Amino acid sequence: MEHLSTVELVEKPSRTSSSSLPFALPEKRGVDSFSFVTSSRNTQDDTSSFDSFILRTSADYSKPKWILLPDDNIRRAWELLIVFILIYIAIAVPIRMAFLISESYFLIFLILIFSKKKKKKNQ
Amino acid sequence: MIINFNRDAWLAVDLVVDILFLMDIIFNLFFFAYKKWNGKIVVSQKRIMFKYLKSWFIVDLIATIPFYLFLHSSTLTELGTVNNLFRIFRFSRVITMTKLLRLIKISADKPNFFRKTQEFLSVHALLSKLLWFFMWAFLAIHLSACIWIFVAGINVSIRK
């Protein structure tokens, strides 16, 4: 019964260890132990309010359900969709700016180009 | 193919893209937890909102505003009945280029691009750097070519 209700308050690790592996910790530990880091223990974070809970595990216990972590699959799919739209935007928007001034003007432009080339050949 | 495309179809595509971008803004505001500089993940609703409002919100908002709706009446006018006054509006098609502001977000965090490409495509780090270079080179060449054609088109239309 003791270990069921343990919530470890882990002190803030060094910069290198925390930045390299933020999600590797929960698999190594037991099932019941999950670790939070409160900002009150951090010396560098001056905030001590309750809403500044910072989660270190991918097993989410304190976060609301609608908040998506960076490795969430739905979020990844959404970001992939946005990337595809960005590729489309980056290619299509300049083309449309260039060519859709009007359709007939573009044809005139093409005719002018080819006619001038023929004149140069004749000269 | 692009040139003969109907303008109402373009309008529909624009609307869909803008709705998706708006959804992206909303998701970033409310749902997407972010990673701090020390690798920790902030799940607080307030902090996510403030972080996004301080960092990328304005850029995303400007990129999402549908300027083409304001231009719609002027661009749809027939070519034969275009006044000299309406010709000015043709230059304002440049304002649709604000959509490209979203590319600044990609260029701003280069390490994120490397991480994502290595994660999704599972390529070597050097290859992702090469991809970065070719992407921006392609975009710069494409953009400059389109600007050349745009200027030439304006020149032709004035000469006529």
pLDDT at B23 (0 to 100): 95
pLDDT at A28 (0 to 100): 40
Sequence-distant (≥ 6) Cβ neighbours of residue B41 within 8 angstroms: A22, A54, A55, A56, A69, A70, B33, B34, B35
Q: Tens digit of pLDDT per residue, chain A (123 long)?
A: 444 444 444 444 444 444 455 554 444 443 333 444 444 444 444 444 444 455 444 444 567 778 888 888 898 899 999 999 999 999 988 888 887 655 445 555 556 666 655 555 555
What is the Cα B41 distance to its own chain's centre?
A: 28
User: Residue A49 domain-assigned?
Assistant: yes
The domain total for chain A is 2
User: Residue A12 domain-assigned?
Assistant: yes
Q: Is B43 within 8 Å of A53 when comparing Cβ atoms?
A: yes
Domain of A114 in residue numbering reads as 73-122
Give residue-wise pLDDT tens across range B15-39: 899 999 999 999 999 988 888 888 7
Instruction: Give, as one character, the DSSP assignment of residue A24.
Output: S
User: Residue A67 domain-assigned?
Assistant: no
User: Residue A63 domain-assigned?
Assistant: no
User: Residue A80 domain-assigned?
Assistant: yes
Residues A46 and A86 both lie in one domain? no
Give residue-wise pLDDT tens across range B108-141: 989 888 988 888 888 889 999 999 999 999 999 9
Q: Which chain B residues have a beta carbon less than 8 Å from that of A99?
A: 2-3, 149, 153
Total length of chain A: 123
| DSSP labels, B38-100 | TS-EE--HHHHHHHHHHHTHHHHHHHHS-THHHHHHHHTS-STT--HHHHHHHHGGGGGGGGG
Q: Is A70 within 8 Å of B41 when comparing Cβ atoms?
A: yes
Q: Is A94 within 8 Å of B42 when comparing Cβ atoms?
A: no
Q: Is the pTM of this model over 0.90?
A: no
Last residue of a domain, one of A12, A29, A55: A55
Candidates B4, B23, B44, B109, partner chain A, best to mutate (most A CBs within 10 A): B44
Give residue-wise pLDDT tens across range B28-70: 999 888 888 887 888 888 888 999 999 899 999 999 988 777 6
Burial of B14 (0-12, 13-18, 19+ CB in 10 A): buried
